[in-house]
Amino acid sequence: MITTKDMSYHPEAMANLTDASTRHSWAETFYMPFAVPELGLFGSAYVMARPGVGVTTSDVKIYQGLGRTRLDALYSDNQTQIPAPAAFENFTLPTGLACDLSTGPARYRVSYEGIDDTRFDIDAQAIMPAYDIHDSSMDPMAAKTDQDRAAGSGYGAAYGGHYDQLCRIRGQLTVRGKDYAIDYVDCMDRSWGVRPERALQPMAWLHAIFGEDYAFHGIWSMNYAAASDAQHSFAHGFVLDNGQVHGCTAGKVIVTRDGIWGAHYEIHATDVRGKQHRFLGAPVASGLWEPYGCVAVPNVMNRYVAADGRVGYGEIQEGWFYDTYLRLRAAGQL
């Protein structure tokens, strides 16, 4: 169960899951999206702190339209050697990014004063409990031991602790002097675990959201060399249906690609009631995200149509890790 205590660093978990030789790889992360979906505009604020070495990555990205390189971004500010904040639940970084998690997991405040007349002030109000992938009372895929949790998390030991949560996100965004009002539903997350920058599990994190009444979110491990209907293996996920959260027991992704970029997605999910869900999606905006130097993330905002005809939006992050990809390519499997 996620509580306000989980907004802070996790020194006990870090001590239990690392030793002196691996403590530098412990990571505490926070991800908050923002978007104006109907304009094909989306972005995020992302923080990854490494308390074992005292540094933090501060990342702000904003995309509009179908970009495929970092140079196609509308705005980007990624700084990787910022001093780690003394307290994770409420901090302001030298980059101008400020995060207040002190009332989480009920509410989050994120603001940013950047360069080139770019800034935002966002309030995210939770519309569901924090979905703890390691809590068996809410997630039917939850495992009991640290070893089994790492094996089944979708992202290895990097998800030693992890939750996802749908929020009503409101605020103001200014990008290069142009103002936008933010008011929509999206999915944030918070993680802590062992996250080195080599030999990480390829994974995907995606959702299809149709407002406060209906949404799906899922985490998947990935096999780059598999067929288009077998690259994603379901790890965890939930459906929000008429205000009730139902954990999922199975899922499937069928993707049509242009290189590493998804051009069309067909997503299936089965929740604990046995109810089937199906979503068809295609990109309306995209950009290449490199939250760390070891990975390329084709970051896509899809427009989705649900099986009942409802139209929504959702973000897809697929982690294409360079070490795994290049190893497969060298072996002739890609």
Reported as a single tens digit per residue, the pLDDT across 189-218 is 999 999 999 999 999 999 999 999 999 999
Average pLDDT estimate for 25-31: 98
Give the Cα separation of 143 and 154 in Å (integer).
12
Contact 276, 202 (CB under 8 A): no
Per-residue confidence at 146, pLDDT binned at 50, 70, 90?
confident
Within the chain, where are the H helices? 11-17, 146-152, 322-330
Task: Please compute Rg for the chain using Cα positions.
Answer: 18
- The predicted structure's pLDDT at residue 83: 97
Percent of the chain with pLDDT strictly greater than 70 = 100
Q: Which of 2-11, 70-79, 89-98, 144-153 has the lowest mean pLDDT?
A: 144-153
pLDDT digits (tens, 9 = 90+) for 33-74: 999 999 999 999 999 999 999 999 999 999 999 999 999 999
Q: What is the pLDDT of residue 229?
A: 96
**What letter does residue 211 receive in the DSSP assignment?**
S
Per-residue pLDDT band at 10 (split at 50, 70, 90): very high
Task: Report, as an integer, the average pLDDT of 295-305.
Answer: 98
Domain total in the chain: 1
What gap in Å lies between CA 298 and CA 287, rounded to an integer? 6
Q: How confident is the model at residue 167 (pLDDT cuts 50, 70, 90)?
A: very high
- Mean model confidence pLDDT for the chain: 97
What angle is formed at CA 144 by the lines to CA 141 and CA 148, rounded to 5 degrees? Answer: 75
pLDDT of residue 301: 98
CB atoms under 10 Å from CB of 269, counted, come to: 24
Average pLDDT for 167-182:
98
Provide φ and ψ at 116, rounded to 5°.
55, 40
Give the pLDDT band of residue 18 (cuts 50, 70, 90). very high
The residues, ordered by sequence, that sit 6+ positions from 28 with a Cβ below 8 Å of its Cβ are 9, 10, 48, 49, 50, 51, 88, 191, 192
CA dist 76 and 61 (Å) reads 5
Q: Which domain holds residue 113?
A: 4-191+200-330
Token representation of residue 284? 């309306």
Torsion of CA 267, 264, 317, 201, to 10 degrees: 70
